[in-house]
Amino acid sequence: MANKGLLLCVCQGNCPSFQKMNIFDVGNAVRREKLVDYIAIHPQLCATDGDRFLSTLLKGESTDELYVAACDPTMQVKMFRDAFAESGFSKEHFHGVEIRNMDTAQAVDAIKGSLGPQGS
Ligand code: SF4
């Protein structure tokens, strides 16, 4: 079965677009249902250290499908392009999930929706 990873990113935790949700509760809801193989929260994936984190993570063989719940998915693809190239990770296996301006329950639903039925 494909290994799925979920990264949560909320603009350092102080952006107004993410103030309605509790990002730890979002991650815990997905963890509890074992919908993915791992979850991590990163403060700023589009910063230089975020790029380094992504390329280091994806160079390993633990991720077949990567889900990133954060800002606009189209922007995410552009911002993570270098990290994907550096690690050899195909963007076909990347799934950006928009969670801006959502509360905790809405963000969980958006992530679950992108994972598909039973997280398959
Ligand atoms: S990747 Fe998106 S959500 Fe994360 S810090 Fe950058 S702009 Fe904000």
Does residue 87 lie in a domain region? Answer: yes
Nearest Cα residue to atom 2 of ligand 1: 71
Amino acid at 4: K
Does residue 14 lie in a domain region? Answer: yes
Q: Is the pLDDT of residue 119 over 90?
A: no
49 CA to middle of ligand 1, Å? 12
Domain that holds residue 11: 7-115
Q: Is the pLDDT of residue 118 over 60?
A: no
pLDDT at 42: 97
Tokens, residue 29: 């809801």
Does residue 78 lie in a domain region? Answer: yes
Tokens, residue 117: 């039925």
Question: In total, how many domains does the chain have?
Answer: 1
User: Alpha-carbon torsion 46, 89, 35, 39, what sign?
Assistant: negative
13 CA to middle of ligand 1, Å? 10
- What is residue 16's DSSP assignment? G
Q: Is the pLDDT of residue 114 over 80?
A: yes
Tokens, residue 33: 């249902």
Cβ of 9 below 6 Å from ligand 1: yes
Does residue 65 lie in a domain region? Answer: yes
User: Alpha-carbon torsion 68, 16, 51, 29, what sign?
Assistant: negative
Convert the pLDDT of each residue in 99-113 to its tens digit: 999 999 999 999 999
Does residue 1 lie in a domain region? Answer: no
pLDDT at 116: 80
Convert the pLDDT of each residue in 28-72 to its tens digit: 999 999 999 999 999 999 999 999 999 999 998 889 999 999 999
Does residue 2 lie in a domain region? Answer: no
Cβ of 68 below 6 Å from ligand 1: no
More confident: 108 or 120: 108
